Structure 1
Amino acid sequence: MLLVVSAGVLVWVTASFVVSFRRSPPPVHMVVGERADSNIYSEVPFRHNDLVQTQRQRRRAAREVLPIYRLNPPAVEATLQRLSALGEALRAPAGGAEAPRPAPKADAVAPAPGAALEPVDGLDADTLEALRLAVAEPTRFRTLRDLVRDHLNRGVIEERELVTLQDVEAPTAAVTLLNDQVGTERTSVLRTDDLRDPRRAAATAAAEYASRFPDTTPALRAGLETVLGRLMRPTLTYAADATERARRQAAAAVETVTRFVGANEVLVLRGETVTAELLERLQRHQQELHLRQTTQSGWAGIIQGILLCGVMVLSAGFILSVVHTGLLSDGRLLIMVTLVTVVQLLLSRVVADLHFLKSGSSFFLFPLLPLAFGAMLLAPLAGLRAALVSGLLTTAVAAWHVHSPESFHLCVTGTVTCLLGGALMRRARRRAHLIRTGTAIFAAVLLLELLFSIRATLPPGALWRSLAPLATYALGNAFGVTAVVFVLLPLLEYVFGAASDLTLVELSDLNHPLLKRLQLEAPGTYHHSLTVATLAEQAAEAIGANPLMARVCAYFHDIGKLHQPEFFTENVAQGVNPHRDLEPRMSSLVILNHVREGLALARQYKLKRPLREAIAQHHGTSLVYFFYRKALDQEKPGQAVGESEFRYPGPKPRRKEVVLVSLADTCEAACRSLEQPTPGKIADKIEELFNDRVRNHELDDAELTFSELTRVREAMVRTLSTMMHARVPYPKESDREGAPVQAGAAATAAEPPPAAAPPA
């Protein structure tokens, strides 16, 4: 009783803490695109990020970044090489190279000049002569070459790009010149007015040349403009990648703009469409409320939460005492259910708090809450009823803690996921069943979210935009919880000695070392265990118990007979009776000892608690009547025979599956002793055995109703009648002498086996 009270108090304190300490304020339940159905006012002053102004400033900062142009040194060198080649060609003697031709007349066809002389093609003779004289003097040519190099290094740009930069409507004042061809990046800023296209750069260079050499004739200057205009190529190329990178860095450097909002100010007007900025403002307001509200407002609210949690915990305990009578009396099981419930309460609270610290809206909260965690973990270990009671309790506490107008939505989601998770995990026998459970929870959560999201204020477009995040959160929740359950399940089995169907499937392997020993060392007991397993499984199916657990418990219930298998009648060889020379008390001691030896083997092989219960309880406190009666017949004067020496130590069977194994064990052994068993004899015998068990109070602790007991009896009668039916005699072919030979179960005579101990 003390353990029950302690468990209830622990759950109550945890639930009270969850709903009272720093309880979440009522969250908004909106998405972008939804229309507000009422005015929303601020309750506390707060600061929020002005997303619109921040984006505006970041776009402005990005626009202010100057276009970046990269200098192309190979283009500079190529132009200079062409200029040097032209100079050499002009300085060459008349016979050494093809001389440039003067401009042909209109009716003449000009020959194609050489590659080096292409820039001077078409010039008149006076201009050519002036160019030869200028080139022939090394000082003048070197000056010309230096002027060309300077203009090329300053930057020559394509004419159409220069027109774009100097556009009257959106002029660009300057550009950034990037020279990264010299091993390190060097940048400089050039005014747009200082940029030149090839034609203007050639004219400027010719003018500077003329200013340095005053004797330059107009013909020479014009020739230089023409030749240099043909030689010069753009040396600046637009660096789109560098420009974009610089603009991103400039935008990122802009700090987020914050705005102050006082208390009682309008956050959203009724009918206003929720934008990303409005939603961010609402969420920041909810986060500020969450941080400021360290406890629920007022002592009245705290007391209300504590009393409400107490009522819910008491109701849950009462329901468990009615629907799961063995839970409150099973210490280990009660502790496990209590711990899982406490963890579920705290886990839901932590997930909700983390969500509200990031977002003030509960629109995506419900798919995130792991409400099915406790039910999925408890269903295979403590049963579906305990799992559902725990799951519904934690769902109600979570709904009270969230304190949202959508609490009914949360209750429905939690109830459905607990029902689905518990029902599917209750009989999960393979890893694929875990995947099935996760998929079902994901589909249920997503469907419920879509159904609850259909409302007048939410346009279809906003719902479709929210579908992807809703599906992502639901998927992560479902399979995240499934993965955690898969990891924790064996840990809880080890700590509390419970057995899930996943473990029972492993134990049902007939190649288990104990079962292999039983098959080799006690084949009669092995066959008896298989028969008992079939009977118990059929009975479990009839009353809705766990057929797999009943079968596995039956496999191992008589492993204690491995200690002295020859003393049990199913293993006695023909004509051998080991009890013939033993006192009844000694024979009874050998029979009773198989329970203690079985428990020792169970501990050695680390069998789960339900199997150990089947070994210890399958005989309850029944009497080894055969040897007790024999002791009474051999009783000597002055020597009293006490029943306690011939009774099993117990305890009486409690778990449904163990009760079924106990009944199946008794019925199979007794019906084997019937001569010429018929369905009528089997039914009478089984009814007698069941009545004896009830009359002797062996089923007082059993978790069975009389209705279930009737269905169990009918199932065992049906199964044993089909297993022990008589075979029809069949004739054999006559031998060569014509003597007919009869064979068959009804025509074969066999000597009765020697008297031995009754089946135990």
Structure 2
Amino acid sequence: MKKIPLKNFDGVIVSFITVTLLNFFDFNIIKAIYEFIFLIIVWHLVIEKVFEEVYYFRLHKLYKNTFYFLFIFGVFITYISIKRFDLTLSPFLISSLLLTLLTSYIAGFSAGILQSILIAFHINDFYSAIYMISQILLMNFLIRNINRRIEIAKSAVFTSFLSLILLLDQIPLKPLYLNIYDISYGVLNPFISTIIILGTLPYIEYFTRIYSNIGISELANMNHPLLKRLSLQAPGTYYHSIMVATLAEAAAERIGANSTFARVASYFHDIGKMIRPYFFVENIPDNQENPHDSISPFLSHLILEDHVKSGIELARKYRLPLTIEFIIPQHHGTRVQKYFYHKAKEIEENVSEDSFRYPGPKPQFKEAGIIMLADSVEAALKSLNSSNYQRIKDLVENIVSSIYNERQLDESGLNLKELELIIDEFIKVIVNITKARIEYPKEEIKKVVQANDNNKQTN
């Protein structure tokens, strides 16, 4: 007999909890059964499809758990508010908007529509479904790609007007039930929901490590403790990360990926290098010998691989977004450290490539794939020593082709058309920012170090 995967029971469990809470104060077994069956059917036809469509839900179970909690909470608190007060005073927007901000527009409005239909069925009021769904669709649409808090407030203005229109339209039908207070509550509701969302969002982000674009944008502040440490302890890596961010942001924007996240994640992708900075070529001073020359390639591999583990530990310690933590190992994928592998073969002929392979996983989403490509391209620019367009083009195409042929991008979701656009964007950016000298500007790195030393002395 074929076993049913445990994850298939998630919808059943969430449906049971939701219906139980919905019927807690006025339990009706017949209605509860109908609601339970309806919720299970819609869950498997719609919500499971959303989980397949939105890559966040495939990355970590915490994304689904957050969806479950916010959906159940949204249904319960909205119903209680309607029961105790009125529809116009119910916080029906909150859970849906939070899901849109934290995951995706599709997840947010799907949860909001399902919540509205379920509550409307339970209270036997078809109009309430129209009232809630209309505002949920509009406000979710308006905030789907925002990066600033003020944009949520702006969306509340339009939603408030929609609420006013919907309520005024009902006055001829319900003259005894609608009054100036109901209309005032309905107009103010989107603003109150916005205040609650803006107040709770930072706490949700911190505790779940699931960040909205607003939270991601705030991490771009170069005064973040990790970025300040990186500039002090590994200035070459710091400069490299800024260059990678420039490439990744432009490429992500070109193909319609999350350019804000691509930029911010690039800043943090190599934070583990600050633990042993002078084992990485970009941080080795001109007058200092490369430490890898005096140790075995096997040990060199272990040291370089360890920066991934160190980066993950730092990401967790500073509660960076889960997606940034995922970028740290994924931007290396399962690639081989070829230089040390070939060096090891000179010592031990039968050494396996797998002994010098990063543990992975391969990039699991588009932004991770873009950062892998940007990281490799930027690292290779040091050896180019030319601003010639054709040489830059050949270099970028060769690196992207090599990574593609290694099948590192198979799980990233990037297609060939998008790779062509990424190559084109990389070339444009590099041509614009490089002239006669491509390698790391040592004087700029020295300025960063000197500035940090001066700050230390001042403090």
Please give the range of the TM-score, normalised by the shorter of the 2 chains.
0.7 to 0.9
**In the superposition, relative to structure 1, how do residues 676 and 394 fare at CA in structure 2: closer, same or farther (>3 Å)?**
same
Match of 2:406 among 687, 696, 700: 696
Determine the C-alpha separation between the residues in 2 that align with 1:11 and 1:597. Answer: 37
* Contact 1:21–1:295 (Cα < 8 Å) also in 2: no
1:483-632 superposed matches below 5 A: 483-574=195-286, 576-632=289-345
Determine the C-alpha separation between the residues in 1 that align with 2:5 and 2:82. Answer: 33
**In the superposition, relative to structure 1, how do residues 414 and 662 fare at CA in structure 2: closer, same or farther (>3 Å)?**
farther
Match of 2:363 among 653, 657, 676: 653
Deviation at 1:566, TM superposition (A): 1.9
* Contact 1:327–1:334 (Cα < 8 Å) also in 2: yes
Determine the C-alpha separation between the residues in 2 that align with 1:711 and 1:347. Answer: 46
Determine the C-alpha separation between the residues in 2 that align with 1:561 and 1:629. Answer: 23
Match of 1:401 among 104, 122, 129: 122
* Contact 1:373–1:485 (Cα < 8 Å) also in 2: yes
Determine the C-alpha separation between the residues in 2 that align with 1:18 and 1:602. Answer: 37
**In the superposition, relative to structure 1, how do residues 470 and 391 fare at CA in structure 2: closer, same or farther (>3 Å)?**
same
Determine the C-alpha separation between the residues in 1 that align with 2:17 and 2:231. Answer: 51
Residue type of the alignment partner of 1:380: L
1:707-760 residue CA offsets vs partner (Å, 9 max, x unmatched): 433333332232223222x35xxxxxxxxxxxxxxxxx69xxxxxxxxxxxxxx
**In the superposition, relative to structure 1, how do residues 619 and 438 fare at CA in structure 2: closer, same or farther (>3 Å)?**
same
Deviation at 1:502, TM superposition (A): 3.1
Q: Which residue of 2 aligns with 1:477?
A: 189
Q: Is the partner of 1:580 in helix, strand or coil?
A: helix
Determine the C-alpha separation between the residues in 2 that align with 1:14 and 1:490. Answer: 27
Residue type of the alignment partner of 2:84: L
Deviation at 1:341, TM superposition (A): 0.7
**In the superposition, relative to structure 1, how do residues 668 and 302 fare at CA in structure 2: closer, same or farther (>3 Å)?**
same
Which moved further from structure 2: 420-429 or 379-388?
420-429
Deviation at 1:333, TM superposition (A): 0.6
Residue type of the alignment partner of 2:302: L
Deviation at 1:512, TM superposition (A): 1.8
Determine the C-alpha separation between the residues in 2 that align with 1:453 and 1:475. Answer: 14
Q: Which residue of 1 aligns with 2:134?
A: 416
Question: Are 2:170 and 1:453 aligned?
Answer: yes
Residue type of the alignment partner of 2:366: K
How many residues are paired up?
Answer: 434
Deviation at 1:528, TM superposition (A): 0.7
Which has the larger strand fraction? 1
Deviation at 1:336, TM superposition (A): 0.4
Determine the C-alpha separation between the residues in 2 that align with 1:22 and 1:565. Answer: 61
Match of 1:337 among 67, 87, 100: 67
Which moved further from structure 2: 552-561 or 501-510?
501-510
Indicate the percent of aligned positions where both proteins have the same amino acid: 31
**In the superposition, relative to structure 1, how do residues 306 and 560 fare at CA in structure 2: closer, same or farther (>3 Å)?**
closer
**In the superposition, relative to structure 1, how do residues 519 and 349 fare at CA in structure 2: closer, same or farther (>3 Å)?**
same
Deviation at 1:619, TM superposition (A): 0.6
1:241-260 superposed matches below 5 A: none
Residue type of the alignment partner of 1:625: K
Determine the C-alpha separation between the residues in 2 that align with 1:536 and 1:588. Answer: 26
Deviation at 1:706, TM superposition (A): 4.0
Q: Is the partner of 2:351 in helix, strand or coil?
A: coil
Structure 2: unaligned runs, 5 residues or longer? 439-459
Q: Which residue of 2 aligns with 1:710?
A: 420
Deviation at 1:650, TM superposition (A): 1.5
Deviation at 1:15, TM superposition (A): 4.5
Residue type of the alignment partner of 2:39: C
Deviation at 1:510, TM superposition (A): 0.9
Residue type of the alignment partner of 1:334: K
TM-score computed with the length of structure 1 as normaliser:
0.53
Q: Is the partner of 1:701 in helix, strand or coil?
A: coil
Deviation at 1:549, TM superposition (A): 1.6
* Contact 1:536–1:660 (Cα < 8 Å) also in 2: yes
1:16-44 residue CA offsets vs partner (Å, 9 max, x unmatched): 44677777xxxxxxxxxxxxxxxxxxxxx
Q: Which residue of 2 aligns with 1:13?
A: 16
* Contact 1:326–1:703 (Cα < 8 Å) also in 2: no
Deviation at 1:671, TM superposition (A): 3.2
Q: Which residue of 1 aligns with 2:450?
A: none
Determine the C-alpha separation between the residues in 1 that align with 2:252 and 2:75. Answer: 34
1:354-391 residue CA offsets vs partner (Å, 9 max, x unmatched): 24xxxxxxxxx543343321221112211222212212
* Contact 2:251–2:421 (Cα < 8 Å) also in 1: yes
Match of 2:78 among 328, 348, 365: 348
Question: Are 2:389 and 1:664 aligned?
Answer: no
Q: Which residue of 2 aligns with 1:439?
A: 157
Q: Which residue of 2 aligns with 1:290?
A: none
1:534-587 residue CA offsets vs partner (Å, 9 max, x unmatched): 111112212332222211111111111112222222222225433222222222
**In the superposition, relative to structure 1, how do residues 22 and 566 fare at CA in structure 2: closer, same or farther (>3 Å)?**
closer
Residue type of the alignment partner of 1:589: L
Deviation at 1:334, TM superposition (A): 0.6
Deviation at 1:676, TM superposition (A): 2.3
Residue type of the alignment partner of 2:297: P
Determine the C-alpha separation between the residues in 1 that align with 2:333 and 2:48. Answer: 29
Match of 1:295 among 4, 21, 28: 28
Deviation at 1:329, TM superposition (A): 5.1
Deviation at 1:427, TM superposition (A): 4.3
Question: Are 2:80 and 1:370 aligned?
Answer: no
1:122-161 superposed matches below 5 A: none
Match of 1:307 among 37, 40, 46: 37
**In the superposition, relative to structure 1, how do residues 307 and 447 fare at CA in structure 2: closer, same or farther (>3 Å)?**
same
Q: Is the partner of 1:579 in helix, strand or coil?
A: helix
**In the superposition, relative to structure 1, how do residues 318 and 596 fare at CA in structure 2: closer, same or farther (>3 Å)?**
closer
Determine the C-alpha separation between the residues in 1 that align with 2:192 and 2:390. Answer: 56
Which moved further from structure 2: 523-532 or 600-609?
600-609
Structure possessing the higher radius of gyration over alpha carbons? 1
Determine the C-alpha separation between the residues in 2 that align with 1:375 and 1:469. Answer: 25
TM-score computed with the length of structure 2 as normaliser:
0.85
1:238-277 residue CA offsets vs partner (Å, 9 max, x unmatched): xxxxxxxxxxxxxxxxxxxxxxxxxxxxxxxxxxxxxxxx
Which has the larger helix fraction? 2
Q: Which residue of 2 aligns with 1:55?
A: none
Determine the C-alpha separation between the residues in 1 that align with 2:212 and 2:94. Answer: 16
1:201-260 residue CA offsets vs partner (Å, 9 max, x unmatched): xxxxxxxxxxxxxxxxxxxxxxxxxxxxxxxxxxxxxxxxxxxxxxxxxxxxxxxxxxxx
Residue type of the alignment partner of 1:610: T
Q: Which residue of 1 aligns with 2:457?
A: none
1:83-104 residue CA offsets vs partner (Å, 9 max, x unmatched): xxxxxxxxxxxxxxxxxxxxxx
Determine the C-alpha separation between the residues in 1 that align with 2:221 and 2:182. Answer: 43
Determine the C-alpha separation between the residues in 2 that align with 1:668 and 1:616. Answer: 18
Residue type of the alignment partner of 2:98: L
**In the superposition, relative to structure 1, how do residues 626 and 467 fare at CA in structure 2: closer, same or farther (>3 Å)?**
farther
Q: Which residue of 1 aligns with 2:50?
A: 320
Determine the C-alpha separation between the residues in 1 that align with 2:25 and 2:235. Answer: 66
* Contact 2:143–2:152 (Cα < 8 Å) also in 1: yes
Determine the C-alpha separation between the residues in 2 that align with 1:643 and 1:655. Answer: 26
Cα-Cα RMSD? 2.9
Q: Is the partner of 1:606 in helix, strand or coil?
A: coil
Determine the C-alpha separation between the residues in 2 that align with 1:584 and 1:439. Answer: 62
Q: Is the partner of 1:367 in helix, strand or coil?
A: helix
* Contact 2:209–2:319 (Cα < 8 Å) also in 1: no
Deviation at 1:630, TM superposition (A): 2.0
1:504-550 residue CA offsets vs partner (Å, 9 max, x unmatched): 23321112222222223322211111011111111221233222221
